[in-house]
Structure 1
């Protein structure tokens, strides 16, 4: 009985260690905040197989959802109307446009030559 108890204790330690390692691996796939010019920013990961949209910050998830739900390719202004950006003010539309371009650069969206955005196939 002592031998079995000792084996069980070893098994519990191994399980705890493996659980910790898995948690660290999962955390490493999430976008990590970084520092740019002394300001905290959220890094957007490149799209890879097995990496889901829920790893993105919420505002980026909303942007992808808006593009996906559109009847076809959309302009930044149309995405802004869906996600609640005041599109009449250019200074509020430009940050959205840069997020769209960032999603294109990371492989989450596609930008057509006419400047419209679509989801990737």
Structure 2
């Protein structure tokens, strides 16, 4: 009988360790989603700076009448002391334009457009955990955190407002107070 009691406590210990491992996995998934969103934002900044530098070099070359070879140094980035090797392969960058008068959600990438339309159709401000399932994503931590990153980018670009921490609402009401989806249905 001595083994029966120890087997029960062993099973309880394994159950407790399983729960702790699950919690740790959930925390790591949330951190991973947050870092992925931050990485996407930094890639966008890097891409814009690269394009801006190349454009300025081209304009300066055209204005001064110099040979393109003479302005090559303007087009080449300054090398770091030690080269940085990227471990992540960049396939493409998603760009979210800054909101301007007359813009509709049609200018947004699909995932961002879905988020803005869900919020526009809501009766009030929403949390990321409410939005993710309404855009077709599973309500798991990683997807919610990814949605939160997109929401923050939409706030930074003027499409949404964060009236209270974690609560998102449209920054610009639709003309006539109609929802984004009803505008799309009228096309």
Q: TM-score range by the shorter chain?
A: 0.5 to 0.7
1:111 corresponds to:
162
SS at match of 2:161: strand
Query: Greater share of strand residues, 1 or 2?
Result: 1
Task: Provide runs of 4+ in structure 1 moved above 4 Å.
Answer: 34-38
- The count of aligned residue pairs is 87
Q: Where does the alignment leave 5 or more consecutive residues of structure 1 unmatched?
A: 1-33
- Cα RMSD for the two superposed structures: 1.9
SS at match of 1:47: coil
1:8 corresponds to:
none
SS at match of 1:112: strand
Deviation per residue, 1:40-62 (Å, 9 max, x gap): 11111100122222011111111
Q: Please, what TM-score do these two structures have when normalized by structure 2?
A: 0.43
Please say if residues 118 and 135 of structure 2, whose CA atoms lie closer than 8 Å, have aligned partners that are also in contact: yes
Please state if 1:70 is matched with 2:122.
Answer: yes
Q: With a CA cutoff of 8 Å and minimum separation of 6, indicate the structure with the bigger relative contact order.
A: 2
Please state if 1:50 is matched with 2:102.
Answer: yes
Q: Please, what TM-score do these two structures have when normalized by structure 1?
A: 0.65
